[in-house]
Chain A
Amino acid sequence: MLDRRELLRRGMLAAGAAAMPSVVAAQVKPAADWTLGLTDVLADIAPRPLTRLHGRAPALAGTLYRNGPARFRRGASSVSHWFDGDGLVRAWRIEEGSASLAARFVDTPKRRLEERLGAIVQPGFGTPARPGSELGGPDDANAANTHVIAAGGQLLALWEAGSPFALDPDTLATRGPVTFRPDLAQMPFLAHPRIEPSGRIWNIGSGGDHAFVWRLSPTGQFEAGQTIRLPMASYMHDFTATRRHLVILCQPWVQTSPNVPYLRSLTWQPERGSRVLVIDKDDLSIRREYELPPLMFFHLGDAWEEADGTIRFDGCFHKDPAFPVLGAAALVEGRREHSEMPALTLVTLRPDGRADLAAAGITAEFPRAAPEIAGLPRSQTAFVGDYSNDRPFARAVGIWDWDKGSADRFDFGPLHLVEEFVPAGDHLIGTTLNLAAGASELHIFDARRVADGPVASWRSDVALPLSFHGSWMA
């Protein structure tokens, strides 16, 4: 049997899964409580009021839109990876002190085909194509399941290897894939655009050792686009930006073959180290590169620049891709093969060309900062964390302060699976899945006193699987 390191090096997900005695384990153990976080939602969730658990809503009115995979199994078939379920966009609305929830699946070609066949057939990040699949372009496999932002009066449900899908912000009805210009149909568009305080949207789409840089207006109109060369063909889930620069971190988890699914085309090559490409927003040909030790990541925080040209940003770094290769695949089967232990880390790119890492000393994921200061100097990062070896998800929310070197955090305890929290003015807003109640909950914190616990919480009457990312729209 190959050891884990060798599996990762070869990118052999299937061999890895086959080597695990999963069937035996599943037969003798009852399902772990956290498997509620990967439950299937069978139909759209009609608007319904939430029950207030405690506190009163602060002077906050708006909608927390969130997106995440919510259909993993059809008939005897299932996706092979957490990241490949159909995107369900949820709208958690707060208005005049009361709250409601509605959710609709993004109506993608993938979902339509699989509904018709009653089987999972389309390939994805870690799911192979199966008989009956129809794949004329990336958007046929688009799960539209990773993030949702607002631009130009509509929502954009984002994946990363294909187009955004536009949704009606009130009804959540799908309007269809967005083609920014006819010749840019079917282009990759990452789920983590960087939005300037002005509303201007920067994004990249990754294609091997090249990327397409998108620049959109605040209303989501195409302004400019250009293909750039990357230092290596890294897996790209996120990038970051300062006010003046795009900052593209290239990890040594690189595409080395045309294998499908995409996960099987990637090889972990730590000996190559990591690279950071910094590009001038005004002239994409002006670029410089920095070297960093090998690291694997999904998510970065906003970057900022200091007076002497020093660039800083934080990220949640893993020591290797064991979680996406082994862990996130097993979750769908109810197995916890590998816990995620992301380390919140500050990256500093110095004017003399040196770059270094400084770990905060905590586990953290889903880093978010106030959108009003995106790309500008900041010290605080909202996160979810307290990852441990007894369950695969976060149980705490907090705000890490890089100046103070400490976190103001609140532990929901072992019976909540904590999803991303986002800054909303003086507040932090986000959701958890309460395992004891079997229900999804909405929580608001005073961002200056997170440790005091939520100032208001509401409970829904449904248990939604864990979502990935979202946006607060006041």
Chain B
Amino acid sequence: MTFRLVTPLLLAAALPLGGCAISINDPGAPSPSVARAAAATLAIRFEGIETPTGQIMLSVFDNAAAHDQNGAPIRVAAVPVAGTSALASFEGLAPGDYAVKAFHDVDGDGKMGTNPFGMPLEPYAFSNDAKAQGGPPRWEAARFPVAAGANTIRINIK
């Protein structure tokens, strides 16, 4: 099924986030050897949460192709919501550029809620607070640098 006006692109927005839910327990965790070799940590603080329930589910990408073409994230996580914020942390990242796609799984069912035509209905957000434009923002709009050592970014999600 395809949908009129903006739906086809928004559907693409929903899919990688849903895929994050499906793959939440597998390939994301770094192997110990990778963790030792890399030198960066990344803390992502989600703010502005309006409904203090459920979890934030997120995918982290490290290249344009995977980010823009529905490819696999390098890391995924699901972190609980505490009040109006949530915190996700990653260790063992190689310094470089990254981008994040996230949604607030308000009802805690592990997937993006949609209407019958597949439109996302739970809050979602992207790194740099990049705006959706009929689909997720492009890598160029969402990418941010991660340097060796500790890094922190904030994402408004509401």
Contact = CB atoms under 8 A, between A and B. Distances in A.
A105 B3 CA distance: 27
Contacts of A291: none
Interface string A399-416: 000000000000000000
A365 B1 CA distance: 32
A206 B116 CA distance: 12
Contacts of A184: 115-116
A126 to B, nearest CB: 11
A129 interface: yes
Nearest to B135: A135
Interface stretch (A5-13, A208-216, A272-280): A208-216
Interface stretch (A185-193, A320-328, A440-448): A185-193
Given A185-B115, A210-B1, A138 B7 contact: yes
Contact of A260 (B9, B115, B121, B131): B9
A322 B119 CA distance: 31
A233 B2 CA distance: 9
A134 B4 CA distance: 17
Nearest to A142: B5
Interface string A132-169: 01111110110000000000000000000110000000
Contact of A187 (B9, B116, B124, B132): B116
Nearest to A256: B2
Interface in B114-158: 115-117, 119-121, 124, 131-134
Given A123-B6, A141-B6, A186-B121, A135 B1 contact: no
Contacts of B120: 137
A207 B119 CA distance: 11
A187 B134 contact: no
A134 B2 CA distance: 21
Contacts of B117: 187-188, 205, 207, 210, 212, 227
A136 B7 contact: no
B73 interface: no
The range of chain B's interface size is 20 to 34
A129 B119 contact: no
Contacts of B16: none
A134 B129 CA distance: 12
Contact of B121 (A123, A183, A188): A183
Contact of A208 (B3, B113, B124): B3
B8 interface: yes
Contact of B4 (A133, A161, A185, A227): A161
A183 B2 CA distance: 19
Nearest to A160: B4
A185 B121 CA distance: 7
A207 B121 contact: no
A212 B6 contact: no
A255 interface: yes
A471 B32 CA distance: 69
B24 interface: no
A262 interface: yes
B6 A135 contact: yes
B93 to A, nearest CB: 29
B116 A260 contact: no
A227 B5 CA distance: 18
A161 B10 CA distance: 14
B115 A262 contact: no
B7 A207 contact: yes
Given A134-B131, A184-B115, A186-B119, A255 B4 contact: yes
A136 B115 contact: no
A258 interface: yes
Contact of A123 (B124, B131, B134): B134
Contacts of B5: 123, 125, 138, 141, 161-162, 260-262
B4 A262 contact: yes
8 contacts: A135-B9, A141-B5, A161-B5, A185-B121, A186-B115, A186-B121, A205-B117, A208-B3
Interface of B: 1-10, 113, 115-117, 119-121, 124, 131-134
Given A185-B119, A186-B115, A188-B4, 18 more contacts: A123-B5, A135-B131, A136-B10, A136-B124, A138-B5, A138-B7, A141-B5, A161-B5, A185-B115, A188-B3, A207-B4, A207-B117, A208-B2, A208-B4, A212-B116, A233-B2, A258-B2, A260-B8
